[in-house]
Structure 1
Amino acid sequence: MPSKDVQDYLEKGMYGAPQLKPEEKRQYLGTFRERVYLTMTIAEMRDKKNVTHFKQELQDNPGQQLLLNAAADFSLQNNYMVIAQKANCPFKIIDSDEALSDETIGLVYAGDTAVNVEKVAVSEKYAPVRKTSEQVTAAAEKPEEKTSFFAKLFKK
């Protein structure tokens, strides 16, 4: 056996098999970002209107899997588990090493293969499209026509 193979064998025995993107998998409750359709933080799970967004996602992308953070409050988990059961959607409760806060991801709706959805956070995906007052005033104002340097230089 060459020395590199022995070293790899020893490292695998001491540290376990190497993993792809462990931080990403930890953040998305054991799955890769490219497989995710929808995520909700603990605070977003408490919002009642996000329940309708979750139901919409179940209708748009049936047959996927729901992953719930085990550290989330049981009543929150239960609400989404009941909805998933009614839609015949499998779910798993995943233990997370991350400290629980309102910004911790509590729900992930993901598939088995890559789907590459651009916006997965419920706050971004279902955000109401509103123009701010600055955007409205900027659109109302017409931009000044700018003259080039040479046009200023050779003015008649």
Structure 2
Amino acid sequence: MVGKKIDDVLKEGLYGKKELKPEERKRFLGTFRERVEGALTISQVQEPDIYPEVKEWIRKPGVRLLLNGKIDYSHISKYVRLANDQNISYTIIQNHEAETDIGLVVAHKHAVDKEMIWASKKKPASTEQKKKKNGLFSNIFK
């Protein structure tokens, strides 16, 4: 038993501490899938408008916002402002070794095992698009 303990210490020294589900944690910006309330892909975060699902997710008690640090700050700043407005803690994750398609995660500190965590792929309508759709004379003909 003593020999096994020394062996474990040596392995930890050589290879680093054992991690639970390291691939999952790399993909979900440092958290487990079972803790995720919702997530956006990098391309969704880079869109000009805030997804309405994110506003719903951050209203849940005890959540935190994780943002992919590989995305230019000009794209994630709108979510940082949203977190500040709602008094939600956020972290910008700078993991240069991990490759992930996820740009934003809203996560709990405990498991919630939510089945559907993805925001709709449909791009939210921006205010500019709404103005163009309604047209200049839309108020006259209502």
* Identity among equivalent pairs (%): 37
User: Residues 1-156 of structure 1 correspond to what in structure 2 (within 5 A)?
Assistant: 2-48=2-48, 50-59=50-59, 61-96=60-95, 97-99=97-99, 104-123=101-120
Secondary structure of the structure 1 residue equivalent to 2:70: coil
**Largest Rg, 1 or 2:** 1
4+ residue segments displaced more than 6 Å: none
Distance 1:23 1:77, change over 3 A: same
In the alignment, residue 81 of structure 2 is paired with which amino acid? V
- The count of residues paired between Structure 1 and Structure 2 equals 122
Query: For residues 119 and 4 of structure 1, what CA distance do their matches in structure 2 show?
Result: 43
Query: For residues 65 and 8 of structure 1, what CA distance do their matches in structure 2 show?
Result: 34
**Residue ranges of structure 2 left out of the alignment (5+ in a row):** 123-142
In the alignment, residue 112 of structure 1 is paired with which amino acid? K
In the alignment, residue 28 of structure 2 is paired with which amino acid? Y
TM-score normalised per structure 2 = 0.77
In the alignment, residue 62 of structure 1 is paired with which amino acid? P
- Asked whether the equivalents of residues 66 and 107 of structure 1 are also in contact (C-alpha less than 8 Å), the reply is yes
Secondary structure of the structure 2 residue equivalent to 1:113: coil
C-alpha displacement of 1:89: 0.4
- Asked whether the equivalents of residues 62 and 89 of structure 1 are also in contact (C-alpha less than 8 Å), the reply is no
Secondary structure of the structure 2 residue equivalent to 1:122: coil
Query: For residues 99 and 26 of structure 2, what CA distance do their matches in structure 1 show?
Result: 12
Report which stretch shifted further, 3-12 or 32-41.
3-12
The structure whose residues are more often helix, as a share, is 1
- Asked whether the equivalents of residues 38 and 120 of structure 1 are also in contact (C-alpha less than 8 Å), the reply is yes
Query: For residues 66 and 47 of structure 1, what CA distance do their matches in structure 2 show?
Result: 18
- Asked whether the equivalents of residues 64 and 89 of structure 2 are also in contact (C-alpha less than 8 Å), the reply is yes
Query: For residues 15 and 52 of structure 2, what CA distance do their matches in structure 1 show?
Result: 43
C-alpha displacement of 1:4: 2.0
Q: CA RMSD in A?
A: 2.1
